[in-house]
């Protein structure tokens, strides 16, 4: 039994099973296996996004702001990075980062410091309040995200994590065609 047929036995399956069944009727010659994996990954992301964003909002942060303070926090003491290191790690534009940094600085969570070796360069550092908030928000987020995994036992979670890592490494290692 293939994945498409397996979904039919589970009370009609999930949203992706329903979409695949519809496409199987309309375009029976088209293989929709990629939808079974990538479509579910996209749907999963959409299903949990609001809850994750609400978690950060409870700390008066948006997701982008959390990403900045979390990146600084996990960088280890002294919790400082250059703006270039930050926007490279976060995969955002320098302009987008500047906007986030302005808001975080105004909130007292980061400060911009002159680099000790080159006074023309700037370092972005977490304040003590930023260190504490990053940790609290991350702990709360991990508890929230863990609550979504109840349908899988420990071994299933481990297998899924290994397979997703393998898929992501394979995709990251391949030049992706531009959408068009």
Angle at the Cα of 137 from the Cα atoms of 135 and 141, rounded to 5 degrees = 115
Is residue 9 scored above 80 in pLDDT? no
Give percent above pLDDT 70 in the chain.
90
| 131-159 residue pLDDT tens | 999 999 999 999 999 999 999 999 999 99
Ordered by start, the domain boundaries in the chain are: 1-59, 63-139
pTM: 0.82
Angle at the Cα of 120 from the Cα atoms of 118 and 121, rounded to 5 degrees = 70
By C-alpha distance, which of 141, 136, 68, 74 is closest to 104?
Answer: 68
Determine which helix (DSSP H) or strand (DSSP E) holds 144, and give its type and residue range.
helix 128-147
Q: For residue 178, what pLDDT is reported?
A: 62
Q: For residue 45, what pLDDT is reported?
A: 95
Q: Give, in order, the Cα–Cα distances in Å from 81 to each of 21, 71, 100, 163.
A: 49, 9, 15, 32
By C-alpha distance, which of 122, 121, 120, 145 is closest to 66?
Answer: 145
The overall average pLDDT reported for the chain is 90
63-139: which CATH number, 3.50.50.60, 3.60.10.10, 3.40.30.10, 1.10.10.10?
1.10.10.10
| 37-63 residue pLDDT tens | 999 999 999 999 999 999 999 999 999
């Amino acid at each position: 039994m293939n994945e498409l047929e397996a979904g039919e036995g589970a009370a009609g399956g999930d949203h992706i099973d329903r979409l695949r069944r519809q496409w199987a009727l309309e375009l029976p010659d088209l293989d929709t296996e990629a939808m079974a994996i990538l479509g579910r990954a996209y749907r999963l992301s959409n299903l949990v996004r609001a809850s994750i964003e609400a978690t950060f909002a409870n700390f008066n942060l948006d997701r982008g702001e959390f990403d900045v303070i979390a990146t600084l926090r996990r960088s280890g003491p002294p919790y400082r990075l250059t703006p270039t290191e930050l926007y490279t790690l976060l995969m955002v534009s320098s302009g987008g980062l500047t906007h986030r940094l302005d808001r975080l600085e105004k909130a007292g969570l980061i400060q911009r410091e002159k680099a000790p070796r080159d006074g023309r360069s700037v370092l972005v550092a977490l304040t003590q309040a930023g260190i504490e908030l990053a940790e609290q928000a991350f702990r709360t987020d991990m508890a929230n995200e863990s609550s979504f995994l109840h349908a899988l036992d420990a071994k299933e979670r481990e297998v899924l994590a290994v397979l997703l890592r393998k898929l992501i490494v394979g995709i990251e290692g391949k030049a992706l065609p531009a959408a068009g």
